[in-house]
Every structure is written in C-alpha cells, then in structure tokens.
Amino acid sequence: MLPVPVLLEQVRLLGREFVRRDMQAHARKLRLYYLALSHRLAGPSNEVDVHWNEAFVQAWLETLRVPPYDAALELRPAGTSCPRCTREGTQPSTRTELVFPGGARLRCSTCEDVWIETDPPPPPRPAR
C-alpha cells in the first residue's frame, strides 16, 4: 500500500488527466476521494465508498423517525407480514432495505409498501 502523500500526488495527477479529457463526472468523484484521503477518512486499503444522495438521506430520516418524517412510515412489530397483500389475498414477499439498532425498514416486493419493524424488547435481567 502506498503512503498517503504518494497516493495523494497520484490522485492529483489522475484528476488533472480527467479534467484534460473533459471527464468531469470522474473528476468530481475523484475530488471527493482526495478530500477523504487528505482528512484521513478513508478505510482500510484507502477505500472510500460513498453512495449518498438526497433520496437516501430522506429514507434514513423516515426510517429513524426524525421530525418532520416521524410519521412517514407505519411502525409495526417484528415479523409482521404485509397487511395490504394479506387483505388482497396476494402472497407478500418482504425484503429488508435498511437495518438500525432496534429495528429495520422493510419493503413488500409484491406491492412496494414500506414500513418500519422494531425489535422485540430484550428479556428482563434476572435479579441478583
């Protein structure tokens, strides 16, 4: 693995080449990589994996029930089947989209309904 200062110089060289070839989208992403490297935010093997956008931010705000998104999604107990498909007599197929401490965001692949399921509370601790 290259020392970070050497890698930063190589990133600068590549960035100049992207700009020279009018590869603006690549140059923008490389700038973000450079910024992460220069601030020591890269992971093992100097990896930076960023897939954030406005829709993903909103999905997390809804999932974590942050106001004003606290009522955007229905809150259901863990293991709940899709009530819309069950009502309509359709076989639901559920997939987990996001996981967080205490629950998950699920989507029905059949009807595309989305909801939050919360983990059951932990059992009480035995008295000492």
pLDDT digits (tens, 9 = 90+) for 26-59: 999 999 999 999 999 988 889 988 888 789 999 9
Angle, helices 4-20 vs 24-38, to 10°: value is 160
Distances (CA, A) of 83 to 74, 97, 98, 106, 117: 11, 18, 20, 13, 13
CA distance 1 to 17: 23
pLDDT of 123 over the 90 cut:
no
Quick: pLDDT tens for 50-98: 888 789 999 999 999 999 999 999 999 988 889 888 888 888 899 999 9
pLDDT of 13 over the 90 cut:
yes
Global pTM exceeds 0.85: no
